[in-house]
Chain A
């Protein structure tokens, strides 16, 4: 068990910078998820921690030691690969014990560890099978078992669930979480799926274009995104961004969305945004769940407006409605019984208590 630290880590391929100076401190026992779109450098970062890629600049520390130049086998890490990378000619038990056998552990201890890991992952019955005879989920478990028996300082997961179908993915997600609760090993987990990131992580690291956009707990990222990228990446359907500007009308601060649509800001928000220049081009960031059907007795700060829906998507427990505000597509979530219909007019409510205001040019959440 150990903490992991990255200090200004850079990875260059010829003249392309895949990772551009990353600082990250991972505490002992922590479950960290690196998330971001493909090509954001998250896998490269993981592979640098593993020692599969050399680092171009900076330092990586595991348990306080700089491991920049330590070969993977001496870093005391274990890795689970996207395609599982099980040795096809070995049985499950042999796959799991390969690393231990190379290190000449006593036979009895190897057996004990494999049995324990198999029991933990519920694959005791499969121990003598070859990977070919296993289903995707079972292979995934074996790959995790191979990591667990090593009893490493750090677990590294490289998109381990992306080869599974949707249903199994949910199941294995829970499984991984359970395993982590039992073994408590420091874990770095890479995924492009923000749902996976949110559900698994103690802290999520959102990466984009080789840099860290934001580090935080799932709730922090969801409710207090730092940048437009994070705000748009976390949450599904994604946050709406509506061009707007601030104006003063009779002593109150108003947010103007279109020529006909402007709302007074709730007092808390007004105080926060009052110092902003009124000329700035801004974006109103609003999650779909804060755009609901209108009803009587709305709370303060919730404003209503009328619009015509373009498309509706009934999801069962809710209905997603899509409409345009001066050409900007906007998505809202309404009650399935609210009577939303394609092409029909509808009165909606906008919860400005949960709004975000972003600078359109810098993408910074204000």
Chain B
């Protein structure tokens, strides 16, 4: 009540002046409202993503007990370790091999799904996407069991063909193969779905025009499908490259880096060193080595995504 009385004189002001003032309020309100709406997001990103990222840089310059500044000491130490170079090599091999196979399988399967009559597509798509839906930690357990040294269901089956037994996770080469296989199994459906969406977005008239121009099946893929899908292929590949490169769950559960560190990648080794080995600065240094490759991939994705936005 008191408020209303106090505000009374305001009403008596000239109408236009009052309305001008209210516009300024409104404008201020609009940007204020927008800012408030994004504030939690900004806080979250700043405090829990940007700050830790820089904090990680700081951590990487400390000694194990985090009492002393050692500059690039951790990095120099890493460069002298054979295991580190093994990890670099393995991370790159895993990421590239797995992504290439995911992309190829995804592309081929997407085509097969696209080929069959439309009413059956949903069912097949549903089945083929299952690996992507199961939490990888859970599905990797199933793979671990399939690869079990003494009860491997694969070896049981292969024995009928006189093959094996294969030391799936016991031998360095086989363990690497197993890790990549699980990775491909988990990631290929994502490619399949993305490619399928892209295939569906290519207008039928283009294929009809190409067919009338006398293009055969390969030419249609080469001159129509691939150019139309180029952008989505690039984005999906780069996305997958980041996810695969930074993967932790699969290697951790399947081999825990073994045998003899021959399947360690950045994430698992950083965990081993930083958390299990309690050398947080060294662990931070290890994971920081992922940054350059992730950054390059991110820049290219951003470019492609922006391009896609402009096309639409």
Direct contact of A and B (CB under 8 A): yes
Complexed CA–CA distance, A92 and B243 (Å): 47
Asked whether, in the complex, the Cβ of A69 is within 8 Å of the Cβ of B15, the reply is no
Complexed CA–CA distance, A165 and B147 (Å): 66
A-B contact count (CB 8 A): 21
Residues facing A in B12-62 (CB within 8 A) are 15-16, 19-20, 22-23, 26
Grouping DSSP codes into helix (H, G, I), strand (E, B) and loop, the A interface class, with mixed when no group exceeds half, is: loop
Which residues of A sit under 8 angstroms from B26, Cβ to Cβ?
69, 71
Which residues of B sit under 8 angstroms from A112, Cβ to Cβ?
none
Q: How many residues does chain A have at the interface if contact means C-beta atoms less than 8 Å apart? A: 7
Would you give the 0/1 interface string for A56-96, flagging 1 where the beta carbon is closer than 8 Å to chain B? 00000000011111110000000000000000000000000
Complexed CA–CA distance, A71 and B15 (Å): 14
Complexed CA–CA distance, A65 and B26 (Å): 19
Complexed CA–CA distance, A306 and B16 (Å): 66
Closest to A71 in B: B26
Q: How many residues does chain B have at the interface if contact means C-beta atoms less than 8 Å apart? A: 7
Would you give the 0/1 interface string for A123-166, flagging 1 where the beta carbon is closer than 8 Å to chain B? 00000000000000000000000000000000000000000000
Which residues of A sit under 8 angstroms from B15, Cβ to Cβ?
65-66
Complexed CA–CA distance, A70 and B17 (Å): 11
Which residues of B sit under 8 angstroms from A66, Cβ to Cβ?
15-16, 19
Which residues of A sit under 8 angstroms from B20, Cβ to Cβ?
68-69
Would you give the 0/1 interface string for B94-125, flagging 1 where the beta carbon is closer than 8 Å to chain A? 00000000000000000000000000000000
Would you give the 0/1 interface string for A237-261, flagging 1 where the beta carbon is closer than 8 Å to chain B? 0000000000000000000000000
Can you give 21 contacting A-B residue pairs, CB < 8 Å? A65-B15, A66-B15, A66-B16, A66-B19, A67-B19, A68-B16, A68-B19, A68-B20, A68-B23, A69-B16, A69-B19, A69-B20, A69-B22, A69-B23, A69-B26, A70-B19, A70-B22, A70-B23, A71-B22, A71-B23, A71-B26
B residues whose Cβ falls under 8 Å from a Cβ of A: 15-16, 19-20, 22-23, 26
In the complex, the 7 A-B pairs of residues with the closest C-beta atoms, listed nearest first: A69-B23, A69-B19, A66-B16, A69-B20, A70-B19, A71-B26, A69-B22
Known: A66-B15, A68-B19, A71-B26. 4 other contacts (CB 8 A): A65-B15, A69-B16, A69-B26, A70-B19
